[in-house]
Amino acid sequence: MLMEKHAFARQLRAGQTEAERLLWQRLRSRQLLGLKFRRQRPLGRYVVDFICFERMLIVELDGGQHLESDRDQARDDWLRSKGFRVLRFWNHDVFLQTEPVMEAIRQAAEEAFPGNPLTPGPSP
C-alpha cells in the first residue's frame, strides 16, 4: 500500500497541473521564509499537494471537481486531527491572485509557531 502511494505521488508530480507548477516555482528551494516544502507527498492514506513539515502546514489546490466535496472535508478533518493546518486555494486564484495566495501561505507559516519568528535577523 505504501509503495502504491509513493508511485501515485510520483505520477502526480510528473503530471502536475499548471497551477501546481506555478505555485511550486514559488515554494521550492526554500524561497518562502527559508521553509522546505515538498510536493505530492503521501500522508496516511492521502497524497497532499504541498507540505511543510517544519510548520505542519499543507497547501491544497482545487479545481472545479472539488466544489463542496465531502471527501475533501473528511480528508481535511483527518489531516487536522494529525496536527496539520490545511490551506485550500482554487487553481484560478493561483493564476489571478498569486501574491495574495503567497501572502496567505506566508502568514499561516508564521502563525504556526508565533514564538519562533521566521523573518531573518540582521547579519552578524
User: pLDDT category, 110, cuts 50, 70, 90?
Assistant: very high
Question: SS3 string of 50-67?
Answer: EEEHHHCEEEEEECHHHC
Per-residue pLDDT tens digits for 40-52: 999 998 999 999 9
Q: Taking the domains of the chain in order of start, what are their residue ranges?
A: 2-112
The pLDDT of 48-61, averaged and rounded, is 96
Q: How far is CA 82 from CA 10, 38, 59, 120, in A?
A: 23, 18, 15, 29
pLDDT at residue 78 in the model: 96
- Regarding pTM above 0.85, the answer is no
DSSP 8-state class, residue 51: E
Q: Nearest Cα to 118, choosing from 30, 34, 51? A: 34
Scan for cell 507559516, then name that residue: 109
Q: How far apart are CA 18 and CA 3, in angstroms?
A: 26
Q: Does the pLDDT of residue 8 top 60, yes or no?
A: no
Specify the CATH number for 2-112; select among 3.40.50.150, 3.20.20.70, 3.40.190.10, 3.40.960.10.
3.40.960.10
Side chain identity at residue 32, one-letter code: L
Cα 99 to the chain's mean position, in Å? Answer: 15
CB atoms closer than 10 angstroms to residue 80: 13
Q: How far apart are CA 77 and CA 79, in angstroms?
A: 6
Per-residue pLDDT tens digits for 80-95: 999 999 999 999 999 9
pLDDT at residue 57 in the model: 97
C-alpha cell at 57: 502546514
Q: How far apart are CA 85 and CA 76, in angstroms?
A: 9
